[in-house]
Amino acid sequence: MFALVDGNNFYVSCERVFRPSLNGRPVIVLSSNDGCAIARSNEAKALGIKMGAPWFEIRHLEEQVGLVALSANFALYGDMSDRMMSIAAGLGPVQEIYSIDESFIGLDGVRGDLTKRSHAVRDRINQWIGIPCGVGIGATKTLAKLANHIAKTAERNPGSYPDNLATVCNLVNLPGSDVDAILAATDVGEVWGVGRRIGQQLRDTGVRTVLDLARLSPSMVRDRWSVVLERTVRELQGEPCINMEEAPAPKQQIACTRSFGHPITDISQLIEAVSEFTSRAAAKLRLQSGLAGQILVFAHTSPFRTGPKFSKSVVTPLRRPTADTRLLVKAAVTGISQFYKPGFQLAKAGVMLLDLMPNNVLQGEFDFDASDTRDRSKLMAAMDSINDRFGRGAIHVGSAVGTGPPRDWAMRQDRLTPQYTTKWSDLPVARA
């Protein structure tokens, strides 16, 4: 059996922990550069605000109905996620952190009333760190994910499902007839792995509910759609097809891309930005004990602004695979020099590390200059350690610091709240 623990409106909930005055008010969290809504409170959803809604289109609600919009505080959300996941791990012996706010728990071998145990863990998360969450339990990961959706829906919309399914939904303990009734009341698009396009195709063939999908023949689904959807159907029928992954698989590509807070026209600022992005990508690469064989760098103007258009990218092969920030930044800057042209208002740039491999490959298999054999792994480890302790950016490569004006390219976050749990100067103070 599996459980899925999922924080409700996670980014908004993190903000409300330290600002209780936001409770009951419509709140959204905005994306990088305060561009669009990436998290919404239930009150904001009730106003009809869609996920991804551009801020300029809904800004009028700030004055009309008191909508609160906040810049994304990822340092806070990441730390709160770590705290939530450490408590959720007490539900069972195996944990897979699926996303910043979701965690699968393997329940095999856990004795006692799993519904009662889930309520206890959920209450502990809410009491200890202030994050409300839902718990879904099922015989497969797909059913656990679906049960979590049902628990949240029953809590937000009383009457949509039986009240005893709110906050915690255990499909394993329900009679088969009750499970069928719940699946029949749930749209097929709510199934994990059924996207918008496949969902519409299913509806066009008369498969409108989860129960309709669960009753299809797996072999027919494989022939008509794909092996992936066949696996989903088998999971809905109670056959586990998706195993727990206690450690995430290494990424095949690592990217760091950003839209600029303001357009940039100077190559020195572009080099500064790309050097910073490359440094962040290199740190992620070392975190998975990997090496990169190539690096792609790109820059382009905004497709929505008037004026001359520019969009270029280049892939620079590395002489030998590396995770050395210095070498990766050097390659990225070399790529920029190959395609940069003045006279354009650049709106976005980024890097992507390609041809990734484990760092335990035999370096002797690669042909490289004898002058470039210095092992800087300890230097990189020290750099990562200092940045982890004192905050990202405590140590930069020289080209990321720049000597010109302030970072106009940096992400715009005009509505950023304090980093309450990761920065000493932002630590909340309780006064008598």
**CATH code of 155's domain:** 3.30.70.270
Question: Of the residues 171, 205, 236, which one is the last residue of a structural domain?
Answer: 236
* 289 and 389 belong to one structural domain: yes
Tell me what pLDDT residue 188 has: 94
Phi-psi sector, 50: left (phi>0), alpha (psi -120 to 50), beta = beta
Q: Which domain holds residue 364?
A: 254-401
Q: Is residue 428 part of a domain?
A: no
Residue 416 lies in a domain: no
How far lies 371's CA from each of 367, 368, 374, 375, 376, in Å?
Answer: 12, 8, 8, 11, 13
Same domain, 310 and 206: no
Is the domain of 169 the same as that of 34?
Answer: no
Q: In the prediction, which pLDDT does 367 show?
A: 43
Residue 263 sits in the same domain as residue 281:
yes
For residue 46, being part of any structural domain is answered with: yes
Residue 102 lies in a domain: yes
414 is a domain residue = no
Structurally, the chain folds into a number of domains equal to 3
Name beta bridge partners: 221: none
- Tell me if 211 sits within 8 A of 184, measured CB to CB: yes
Same structural domain, 218 and 85: yes
Spans in the chain with pLDDT lower than 50: 362-371
Do 229 and 259 fall within a single domain?
no
Do residues 115 and 209 both lie within one domain?
Answer: yes
**One domain for residues 93 and 225:** yes
Give pLDDT, residue 101.
93
Give residue 398's pLDDT.
72
pLDDT at 361: 60
Do 55 and 96 fall into the same domain?
no
The pLDDT, as a whole number, for residue 362 is 45
Contact 59, 20 (CB under 8 A): no
**pLDDT number for residue 320:** 87
Separation CA 83–CA 94 (nearest Å): 17
pLDDT value for 400: 60
In a domain, 422, yes or no: no
In a domain, 369, yes or no: yes
Q: Look up the CATH number of the domain holding residue 310.
A: 3.30.1490.100
Helix runs in 130-266, H state only: 141-156, 176-184, 196-204, 210-214, 218-224, 227-236
Q: Is residue 417 part of a domain?
A: no
**The CATH number of the domain where 60 resides is what?**
3.40.1170.60
Q: Are residues 333 and 355 in the same domain?
A: yes
Query: Given 59, 74, 89, which residue is the final one in a domain?
Result: 74
Same domain for 85 and 62: no
Strand 254-264 and strand 290-301: the pairing is unpaired
- For residues 331 and 279, the answer to whether their CB atoms sit within 8 Å is no
Among the candidates 190, 205, 236, a domain finishes at 236
At residue 363, the pLDDT reads 46
Assess whether 366 and 380 both reside in one domain: yes
User: Distance between CA 364 and CA 320 in Å, rounded?
Assistant: 10
pTM recorded for the entire structure: 0.77
